[in-house]
Amino acid sequence: MTLINDRWLRRLNQSPKARLRMFCLPYAGSGTAQYRPWARLLPTDIELYAVCLPGREERINERPGERLVPLVDTLAQALQPLLDRPFVLYGHSLGGILGFELAHTLRRTVGIEPARLIISGRGAPESRPAPAIGHLPDDQFVAALTQRYGGIPQAVLNEPELMALFLPALRADLRMLESYDYQAREPLSCPITAVGGTQDRMVPPEAIHGWRPHTKGELATHFLDGAHFFIQSHQGRFIELLSAELRRTSESAGP
């Protein structure tokens, strides 16, 4: 594992002959750890990178960002040296919106789009947002998050010191989502894959299908068993699906 490009990107595997690079964006409160196992599970011709945001892991002492546009602009600059071969952007939940905005920013600033945008656990950007909770006191904030997503590990909930480290980035990410202001633009040309969980109360099927107007290319929609974090609870099935999408993207991208 190597941290590169001014701390923003961690390379999770070494694949000099990779046909595709995949950049994985974090969901709210997360870092790069979620994606480490994927390096041995995905096709060997994929060079895998995970985005490391301020306020977590090696960057725990940095102030986490609360505004999406400046964050995406900086990410686009960090990625530019690695855009010399076809690439895929992937994100779950908040990461899906980051990936979508990053694709538009790269198209606008350097004239390059991903070979595919893959989004899980997130409806189309104009989907109606959930009620804001980022302003709540810690105990109410954690209770609301647990009820909504069920995504805070019990080991973290049981350790006040861990919670004190975890909450600032999580709260900042929720505020980023809550202040997100979707702006209509020309649809992307690249294909989009959108994946939902059959028991995800936050992202109904119609929100997944809502990605259709956002690409001039193919929209591939899939639904897997599980609630919001089906990428963890049903990781094996998700990796199978993700691998298949990456293989056909690699084939269409050419030699």
CA distance 232 to 150: 12
Sheet strands (E) in the chain = 2-4, 9-11, 20-25, 46-51, 87-92, 116-120, 192-197, 219-224
Is 120 known to be catalytic? no
Distances (CA, A) of 164 to 4, 58, 60, 234: 27, 16, 11, 29
User: Do residues 65 and 53 touch, judged by C-beta distance below 8 A?
Assistant: yes
Tokens representing 9 are 């990107």
Choose, from 30, 93, 120, 127, the residue flagged as catalytic. 93
Classify burial at 10, counting beta carbons within 10 Å of its beta carbon; exposed 0-12, middle 13-18, buried 19 or more: buried
The residues carrying an active-site annotation are 93
